[in-house]
Homo-oligomer: A and B are copies of this chain.
Amino acid sequence: MSNFIKGHWGRTTVENSKKPIVAVDIGGTKFIVAVVDNSGQILSRSYCLTHDEQGRARVIARLTEYVYKTVKKAGLNLDGIGGISLAVAGIIDINRRVITEAPNLYRWKNVGLASLIEDEIGIPAFLINDASAAAVGENRYGSGRGIENMIYVTVSTGIGGGLIIGGKLYNGYSGSAGEIGHMIIKTEGPVCNCGRCGCLESLASGTAMARMARERIYKCNQDTMLKEMDVNAITAEDIAAAARKGDRLCLEVIDEAGFFLGVGFANLVNIFNPQMIVVGGGVAQMGEMLLRPVRKSMKQHAFKLPSTAVRVVKSKLGSDAGVLGAAAYVRSIMEEEE
């Protein structure tokens, strides 16, 4: 695939591409730092809350601190590290190495995070979209191992995606391909975090499920276990827990989100005709409870040939998909450049 980041990896050597990589998966709530070796083994791992509200400088300082910590935890020092891979939930310009937009991390708009981290730590850093990284992870080590044409969809606070075409990450012309969550499927739908209406994310993410539950409680006064808690603080996790106990409102909310997710999948299936869709992210932990209505709606809204061909499966790597994929991606760039 073309459009890989090139030209700023002055120190790349065959040796570097074999060294462990520090992979960082930066989300709105927390970040994960992992040192990943050549074979995809995680040598050490740390978690830290992002606390985006404290401002960028403090987040970068904390991130740097955790990189050092995690490298040390792996029994290594920076000389032993081949590079840093930063996976971020945003629209990445891979040529300029800038986060151009980030609906769920808005302080990071137009930030050249890779350069900032390079300046702090002194080893080459790369930027990648977090869902694209997870797509690479699942394709290399997870549910989609060896699949040539695959789509990874992460459903959590937001919805993201990554495309694998011909066994490789497809970045598109500027590096921002895969923004599945902002596919508009209902032009008169609810307002999304991105400012538009009726995006898949506004209809099927964890945030959307919480909104649907609140609406059913306030507008329809429907009965539910959720009334026992602070209704304004309901999360997709609460909905899943209540649904498992048979709560009707929560089962309906999951069905509704599954319906819309299935419409989005149908669009992807009609356009891409992929062999597999891997569903990851926190909300995907609901498993079949969510995937069953998704598959039903997908088959209803897509042509028979591609919707029969595709397998919709749960992610295997869970929250490690991002760091594993981010590391594998950087390694593939280093190998291409050599």
Binding site for B on A (CB under 8 A): 1-2, 91, 93, 100-101, 148-149, 161, 163, 165-166, 170-180, 182-189, 194, 196, 198, 260, 263, 266-268, 270-275, 300-306, 309-310
Contact = CB atoms under 8 A, between A and B. Distances in A.
Nearest to A305: B100
5 contacts: A1-B166, A93-B305, A148-B173, A184-B266, A185-B185
A328 to B, nearest CB: 20
A292 to B, nearest CB: 19
A305 B267 contact: no
A327 to B, nearest CB: 23
A182 B268 CA distance: 10
- Tally of this chain's copies: 2
Nearest to A163: B271
B303 A183 contact: no
Contacts of A93: 305
A186 to B, nearest CB: 5
Nearest to A147: B173
B188 A188 contact: yes
A311 B302 CA distance: 28
B101 A176 contact: no
A251 to B, nearest CB: 21
Among A182, A266, A271, A306, find the residue whose CB has the most chain B CB atoms closer than 10 A.
Answer: A271
B305 A2 contact: no
A202 B196 CA distance: 22
Nearest to A98: B305
Nearest to A264: B184
B263 A187 contact: yes
Contacts of A170: 165
Nearest to A170: B165
A31 to B, nearest CB: 23
Given A166-B1, A267-B267, A306 B185 contact: no
A179 B307 CA distance: 12
Given A101-B305, A186-B186, A176 B273 contact: yes
A148 B2 contact: yes
B274 A172 contact: yes
A213 to B, nearest CB: 20
A187 B184 contact: no
Contacts of A180: 270-271
Among A174, A301, A305, A309, find the residue whose CB has the most chain B CB atoms closer than 10 A.
Answer: A305
Contact of A176 (B163, B186, B267, B305): B305
B100 A303 contact: yes
Contact of A179 (B101, B166, B173, B303): B303
Given A172-B306, A173-B306, A309-B174, A301 B196 contact: yes
B275 A178 contact: no
A57 B101 CA distance: 56
